[in-house]
Amino acid sequence: MNVTLSLNDRVVAEARRIAQARGTSLNQMIRDYLQQLTGADDVEAVIAELSQRWADENYRSSSTWTREELHERPGVS
């Protein structure tokens, strides 16, 4: 669906500058904003983003743990 907006030229110019700095278009930024605003995010896109974030992170411990340390309960002797 096409929508026509009336905006101040300065606002559009600044928004386009921001979009270019982000490597996207003003049109895409507006689509993304409206999808976030309405909660109309595509479930598959959310899953893909979470999967990517999971793949990008390192969830390994910097040290090894003993069995006792894993089952240790604070405050219990």
Q: Total domain count for the chain?
A: 1
- The pLDDT of residue 68 is 87
Q: Spell 16-36 as b/e; 16+ CB within 10 A means b.
A: eeebeeeeeeeeeeeeeeeee
Q: Whole-model pTM?
A: 0.49
The reply to whether 47 falls in a domain is yes
Helical spans, DSSP H, in the chain: 9-21, 26-38, 43-56, 67-71
The answer as to whether 23 is a domain residue is yes
Looking at the domain assignment, is residue 3 inside a domain? no
Which helix H or strand E contains 4, and what residues bound it?
Answer: none
Domain span at residue 31?
9-71
The per-residue pLDDT for range 25-76, each reduced to its tens digit, is 999 999 888 888 877 667 777 778 888 887 877 666 677 888 888 888 877 6
Would you say residue 76 lies in a domain?
no
Residue 41 CA to its chain's centroid (Å): 12
In this structure, is residue 2 part of a structural domain? no
Q: What is the pLDDT of residues 38-52, one digit of tens each?
A: 776 677 777 788 888
> What would the two tokens of residue 34 be?
């409206």
Is 35 domain-assigned? yes
